[in-house]
Amino acid sequence: MRVIHSQSELIKTLKVLTNIAFVPTMGNLHEGHHKLIEEALKKTKYVVVSIFINPLQFNSKEDFLSYPRTIDEDLSILQKLNVPFVFTPSKEDILGALQIIEIHLPNIANDLCGKFRPGHFNGVTTIVCKLFNLIRPDLAFFGKKDFQQLFLIKELVKQLNYPIQIIGIDTIRDYDGLAKSSRNTLLSAENRKKASQLFKLMNTMKDEVIQKTSSFKEIEESATKSLNTSGWAVDYIAIRSAQSLKTPVHDENHIVILGAASLGSVRLIDNIEFCI
């Protein structure tokens, strides 16, 4: 495994390679990341995993500073997974002191998570574009847990004509259904026991949508009340079109339920995609 720390070394190393797959991460790797990497290695022997905690996508300095940093453990995991290339740049190597240009996204980026984390997706996609330009992958792998992020990256690649195939990988879950996330380690023992409530509630909502027992708005409001009553702080629970992330029209049959809510100081997101 070759660990690369600078842009110049990365470009020099990759310029002679073809059929490159890219897995971007912010470190603190878990089984969800493992799955992305395993799927990438099925496609090509040239896989690049990046570890970069992107300051542009955090809405507070405290959140950025509290994000788990586990570089030694991460490199050990990547070594065991037989990853050939790992890119671990410094902040200064990716972001210049005068970084003022960012990606401008469609209005849907300001809804759902974007409504509660202003500028978040602009920060995500700005760094993703930088990494795409440096690595020039043929394939890039992203988890479906971050459904809105995946949707926006697919649109970005399409509209900016990047010659990259974006591959979404299904969410990996813990024994009780909780979606694997780097933030799960920040949950208290008590809140970890409660954390699976979000996924379980979404499954109930899915059944209600399929059975058409109530309107979408009524289902959303009932779910929000249920979580808030159980000690969560809900940002949103929304039933949307999986194709557009807008409110489904009357004949829509490809649905996604998305949610974001906090337990204590830890914000969790999840979704369920299905057809009716």
CB neighbourhood size of 94 (10 A): 20
Which among 30, 33, 34, 120 is annotated as catalytic?
Answer: 33
Q: Which amino acid is present at 197?
A: Q
124-127 long-range CB contacts below 8 Å, 24 or more apart? 124/54, 124/56, 124/57, 124/149, 124/152, 124/153, 125/152, 125/153, 125/156, 126/56, 126/101, 126/102, 127/52, 127/54, 127/56, 127/57, 127/94
The reply to whether 5 belongs to the active site is no
Q: What is the DSSP code string of 145-176?
A: TSHHHHHHHHHHHHHTT---EEEEEPPPB-TT
Length of the chain: 276
Q: To 10 degrees, what angle do helices 197-211 and 216-229 make?
A: 160
Residue 91 Ramachandran class (φ > 0 left, ψ -120 to 50 alpha, else beta): alpha
Among candidates 266, 264, 75, which has minimal Cα distance to 183?
Answer: 266
Residue from 46, 70, 68, 50 nearest 4 by CA: 50
Q: Please give the positions annotated as active site.
A: 33
